[in-house]
Amino acid sequence: MSYTPRPEDQRFILNAVLDAPSRLRALAPFTDVDDALQQQVLGEAARFVGEVVTPLNREGDEVGCRFANGAVTTPPGFREAYRAFVDGGWPALAAAPEDGGQGLPTVLEAIVYEWMSAANHGLTMAPGLLHGAYACIKHHGSDALKARYLPQLASGEWLATMCLTEAHAGSDLGQVRTRAVPQADGSLRVAGGKIFISGGEHDLTPNIVHLVLCRLPDAPAGPKGLSLALVPKQLPDGARNAVHCERIEEKMGLHASPTCVMRFDEATGWLIGEPGRGLAAMFVMMNAARLHVALQGIGLLDAAWQKADAYAQERRQMRAPGPAPASRGSEAADLIAEHPAVRRILDTQRAWVEGARTLAYRSALMLDVAAHDADARARERAQRWCAIVTPVLKAACTHQAFHGASECLQVLGGHGYVREWGIEQIVRDARVTMIYEGTNEIQAIDLLLRKVLPDAGAAMSAVLLELRDALDAARETDADVQRRLAQLRYLGTTIAMAAHADPRLPYEVADDYLRLVMLALLAWAWARIDAADATPAERAARTGPAAAFRRWVLPEFEMRHGIVKRACEGIALSHAAGSALQQS
Amino acid sequence: MSYTPRPEDQRFILNAVLDAPSRLRALAPFTDVDDALQQQVLGEAARFVGEVVTPLNREGDEVGCRFANGAVTTPPGFREAYRAFVDGGWPALAAAPEDGGQGLPTVLEAIVYEWMSAANHGLTMAPGLLHGAYACIKHHGSDALKARYLPQLASGEWLATMCLTEAHAGSDLGQVRTRAVPQADGSLRVAGGKIFISGGEHDLTPNIVHLVLCRLPDAPAGPKGLSLALVPKQLPDGARNAVHCERIEEKMGLHASPTCVMRFDEATGWLIGEPGRGLAAMFVMMNAARLHVALQGIGLLDAAWQKADAYAQERRQMRAPGPAPASRGSEAADLIAEHPAVRRILDTQRAWVEGARTLAYRSALMLDVAAHDADARARERAQRWCAIVTPVLKAACTHQAFHGASECLQVLGGHGYVREWGIEQIVRDARVTMIYEGTNEIQAIDLLLRKVLPDAGAAMSAVLLELRDALDAARETDADVQRRLAQLRYLGTTIAMAAHADPRLPYEVADDYLRLVMLALLAWAWARIDAADATPAERAARTGPAAAFRRWVLPEFEMRHGIVKRACEGIALSHAAGSALQQS
């Protein structure tokens, strides 16, 4: 059973839940993006993914990338599939028309990448970093760099990498040592080693554009001393630059994507943005890249769900308890989909997929609003949403991709543990999404320590109030969600106060806090789905997942809330005890 | 960093927490098993595991088992290691002296297998099924079969399999079709196909003893028509029996253990036990085999923890929040062990390892009490404990092995996702333990539907009261545990009542109920650890894990309790509504 995109699911969320067509039409570049155009694009994308991308997934895992003499060979069929991807204009879907792009909304690009990741995570890694590099050069590159690199990146003729990590500097980019020395001709000589570079070397495109975090001479220690250099594999005159792939990693999964150890041997490069502002230049692409990873998570979970659902609809084992299900007929054993333990897994993971999609597509819409809305306040609100919600989605969707895919594997029992159905590959592939683009723990710290606490929860409260206002307190479900949103606002204050007494506290509760925000967001999303103008078939398909969400997913909210609250109270108590001691 | 057994951890639990030496000395076969003997056996086992078993683990995964022309070649070094295992007398550790065994307590065997699994899960699979086969033949085999097979199984000269699953009959053994036709000479002709047979074929021993679930002619349909046959690879006259391995599976992990598709081609076998009582004969080995799998889970989690702990004690990234840790010295960045998110993972997984060990070792002690205590009531109590606690440990410890190992992998970030540290192998290997020997969902159904509800919770209540009586209500922690035990007793009644109204209900809450029981058992174990007579060093090593258990593990109890309670109330409400409707 192979993954197949189901555009009708996206259409329901875009139209009935998010009212995307009318929101997009209100933005200048998208005045003619109507439902028909959306459906046409998604229909073509679904066909491309199903026919070209999906069939290469298993061999991509089994054969993997090969390394020899500094060169990387991608798995069978990958060159042709990537060529078809470029020829179909898919990399340029949301790129600006002035760079040769099609100028379509980000949300359509998001859906295409969700499907691509579900079908073939390894292949999708190749163009996955393109868009961040494009945005980074577009915002921070010199005119010369833009002219030389933007069109080829927009079209996907060339691919790109982000070279951040060094062996001793993983999450701690301030420790980066790669150095870049300015030359008389305005170029840089870049020297150093980088690890974990996805697509650092491959045979898909003739040139690879590396964005390299580095340090200029006399730069201060720490993150403020970092600059960003563009270092191409092929120099403008066609010569090979001194950029070398030393080896590729043997990994748990994602074998179809080469994870490279790179060496820059006095390679030629050019500064992007200002000296010492390398992190700022990289952060431009952060929200888009993290949302991209969240979408990978959603896609992978959906792919696992499709396999588990298909298996559960054909495998018969024992009689299900309770009244005879219609599917029994004259069979001695029932479909395992009728067994409560299996039903629970399927409905719960479906609840995650649909709820997370609603939030991720809304975020993609907000990226367009932030870029194109005529109203500055609307742009600001959209940016605020993206800043706060993106780390939440990155962490929670990738966590669920791995854990939910493992649950789906369980539906297949021993048949899930062997290669046959391809579901164990999803579990292995998905695991890395919890690590790259900032580990999930770093997302939680980003959320609480950088987004929520610095303004004493003001931006977070604004997002929560916005969510509240989109609900209808007369509906029972909505009122419950509103109560949770209010709890979250209050909890922000509690954490801020406790953090004054103990600076470790917010780091200790950051993961719980992120989960709380995600659960509240999911509850909001399911309230919106419940309230949507759905056809009877659309409604019926979501009754089980909606109930599963309330019964089995949402109770984690109270648990996490209690954990955070007790941690804060513990601080308050020990602080009070400390003060009492000082006074006595 | 390679896994190393730490016998002092076991000694603390056996002596200070469980008072094992004096309990064992009260049993006739173990009157001379004192602390010194225990420590000697464990010391030798630890050395054997560290020197012989651990070093083969990575190559076992990478090379795996090879299949060609019906034969299976195990990974490099496995033959020699298994030979050393047999020569060291390890398979015979707890076997009866009359069969050539050493007659030592089961708990020592349990610890040896926990270490073996931690060091090399694949190799440990080979002798893992030996003990169940030994017990099965010892209890149900004819004198002729006993004479022919027991000594060789006790010593490990021959290995064994359990042939249950067929392609169409996974968890549903009632669907088994393999047939066995009695012959004039008292033997059986066995014909059929089996899948997922661990160690169905290999090069470790000259003979392999297959225990095959099959159906005699005219046997009724369903589980009551099942019989058990002993089918050796090599017949008593030395001829090769018609048992064939058709292929081995490609799996997510556990590559060093061959998972075989077997064909019985009118093979010669002999009945074990009575016709139609095949499942009963197999169930004899069930508690021991499931405890064995729980110990695999504990071992794998401990191995992952050791790697994560070692990494966190050497890797420096960023400054930790709060006061400068002693380990900072003059370094710019702190050890990641000082970062709250990493500390939480390490302490939480440690809490699982130590708590689960306490429970698993107690279960192993109870197996010996059930077999050897002079007092019939003590034997009955011990059997009750094993019946109820074994499925809980099997499911919860294997669940934690996979999920906790994944958490430990996260400590290493990208370095965890690549092969280098060996932690991704643990995650892949551990995943299967949630499936085999009865999926974890089947364990939950076994617990609630077969062990708790049939006697209206009487046996479960007795276990909970026994646990309560071992606590000291004057201690705050203990009082909290007693409260939870009481909640569980009451919940059993609630579920039983709701199950009357809706037979699907217990199936829907079975997983939650099992988790609740495990959390209460862990809370009890940690209360016992807290109350143990520990040295300051033993105490200090457990302060963090004890706090982690209370802060981050135990809150799941309230969450699950709420889920089950609401499910029962929902049934009660809809039942009441139904009655009202009927009356109106």
Interchain contact, A406 vs B431, CB within 8 Å: yes
Interchain contact, A259 vs B418, CB within 8 Å: yes
- Helix, strand, coil content of chain A in percent (nearest 5): 60, 10, 25
Could you report the per-residue pLDDT of B543-558, keeping only the tens digit for each? 999 999 999 999 999 9
Could you report the per-residue pLDDT of B263-272, keeping only the tens digit for each? 999 999 999 9
pLDDT of residue B583: 60
Does the pLDDT of residue B154 top 60, yes or no? yes
Cβ-Cβ pairs closer than 8 A, A with B, add up to 176
Q: Are A209 and A230 in contact (CB under 8 A)?
A: yes
Q: Are B22 and B368 in contact (CB under 8 A)?
A: no
pLDDT of residue B473: 87
Interchain contact, A507 vs B172, CB within 8 Å: no
Looking at residue A381, its amino acid is R
Q: How many residues does chain A have?
A: 584
Residue B242's alpha-carbon distances to A544, B512, B517, in angstroms, are: 50, 45, 46
Mean pLDDT, chain B, whole residue set: 95
Interchain contact, A435 vs B410, CB within 8 Å: yes
Interchain contact, B317 vs A171, CB within 8 Å: yes
Percent of chain B with pLDDT over 90: 91
pLDDT of residue A578: 66
Mean pLDDT of B29-58: 96
Interchain contact, B170 vs A317, CB within 8 Å: yes
Mean pLDDT of A41-58: 98
Interchain contact, A558 vs B558, CB within 8 Å: yes
Residue of A507, A574, A575 to mutate for B, most B C-beta atoms under 10 A: A507
Could you report the per-residue pLDDT of A332-391, keeping only the tens digit for each? 899 999 999 999 999 999 999 999 999 999 999 999 999 999 999 999 999 999 999 999
Which residues in chain B have their CB less than 8 angstroms from residue A333's CB?
A: 172, 175
Q: Is the ipTM of this complex over 0.90?
A: yes
Could you report the per-residue pLDDT of A191-244, keeping only the tens digit for each? 999 999 999 999 999 999 999 999 999 999 888 999 999 999 999 999 999 999
B470: nearest Cα among B539, B526, B416: B526
Token reading at A375: 């109203």
pLDDT of residue A288: 82
C-alpha–C-alpha distance, residues A93 and A24, integer Å: 15
Chain-centre distance of CA A179, in angstroms? 30
Burial pattern A173-212, b for ≥16 Cβ within 10 A else e, equals bbbbebbbeeeeeebbbbbbbbbbbbbbbbebbebbbbbb
Helix A121-128 and helix A78-87: axis angle, to 10°?
50
Does the pLDDT of residue A156 top 80, yes or no? yes
Q: Which of A251, A321, A417 sits opposite B417 (nearest CB)?
A: A251
Residue B126's alpha-carbon distances to A519, B131, B196, in angstroms, are: 44, 11, 14
Token reading at B115: 């270490």
pLDDT of residue B342: 97
Closest chain A residue to B170 measured between Cα atoms? Answer: A317
Q: Which of B170, B250, B415 sits opposite A413 (nearest CB)?
A: B170
Token reading at B578: 């139904």
Which of these is catalytic: B8, B437, B441, B538? Answer: B437
B219: nearest Cα among B270, B164, B274: B274
- Phi, psi angle pair for B153, to nearest 5°: -75, -40
pLDDT of residue A582: 62
Burial pattern B382-400, b for ≥16 Cβ within 10 A else e, equals bbbbbbbbbbbbbbbbbbb
Closest chain B residue to A565 measured between Cα atoms? Answer: B551
Give start and end residues of each alpha helix (H) in B53-209: 57-63, 78-87, 106-119, 121-128, 130-140, 143-155
Q: Write down the residue that tokens 């029981």 correspond to.
A: B517
Measured in angstroms, the CA of A127 and the nearest CA of chain B are apart by 21
Could you report the per-residue pLDDT of B194-251, keeping only the tens digit for each? 999 999 999 999 999 999 999 999 999 888 999 999 999 999 999 999 999 999 999 9
Could you report the per-residue pLDDT of A263-287, keeping only the tens digit for each? 999 999 999 999 999 988 888 777 7
Could you report the per-residue pLDDT of A52-92, keeping only the tens digit for each? 999 999 999 999 999 999 999 999 999 999 999 999 999 99
Burial pattern A276-287, b for ≥16 Cβ within 10 A else e, equals bbbbebbebbbb
Burial of B16 (0-12, 13-18, 19+ CB in 10 A): middle
Could you report the per-residue pLDDT of B52-79, keeping only the tens digit for each? 999 999 999 999 999 999 999 999 999 9
pLDDT of residue A583: 60
Q: Which of A171, A417, A558 sits opposite B435 (nearest CB)?
A: A417
Does the pLDDT of residue B580 top 90, yes or no? no
Interchain contact, A332 vs B440, CB within 8 Å: no
Closest chain A residue to B430 measured between Cα atoms? Answer: A417
A89 sits in the region (left: phi over 0; alpha: psi -120 to 50; else beta) called left
C-alpha–C-alpha distance, residues B496 and A520, integer Å: 33
Which residues in chain A have their CB less than 8 angstroms from residue B318's CB?
A: 171-172, 174
Angle, CA of B387, B390 and B395, to the nearest 5°: 135
A117: nearest Cα among A340, A533, A436: A436
Q: Are B397 and B360 in contact (CB under 8 A)?
A: yes
pLDDT of residue A287: 77
Angle, CA of B374, B378 and B381, to the nearest 5°: 150
Closest chain A residue to B338 measured between Cα atoms? Answer: A504
Q: Which of A414, A419, A444 sits opposite B196 (nearest CB)?
A: A414
Q: Are B541 and B305 in contact (CB under 8 A)?
A: no
pLDDT of residue A581: 61
Interchain contact, B555 vs A567, CB within 8 Å: no
Measured in angstroms, the CA of B505 and the nearest CA of chain A are apart by 9
Q: Which residues of A94-252 form beta strands (DSSP E)?
A: 159-163, 179-182, 188-198, 208-215, 226-232, 243-248
Does the pLDDT of residue B584 top 60, yes or no? no
Q: Write down the residue that tokens 């409905």 correspond to.
A: A347
Q: Are A177 and A189 in contact (CB under 8 A)?
A: no
B437 is catalytic: yes
Q: Which residues of A are catalytic?
A: 437
Could you report the per-residue pLDDT of B418-475, keeping only the tens digit for each? 999 999 999 999 999 999 999 999 999 999 999 999 999 999 999 999 999 999 989 9
Mean pLDDT of A556-571: 96
Mean pLDDT of A557-577: 89
Looking at residue B183, its amino acid is Q
Residue A570's alpha-carbon distances to A489, A575, B557, in angstroms, are: 20, 8, 20
Closest chain A residue to B422 measured between Cα atoms? Answer: A252
Which residues in chain A have their CB less than 8 angstroms from residue B427's CB?
A: 252, 431
pLDDT of residue B579: 65
pTM higher than 0.90: yes
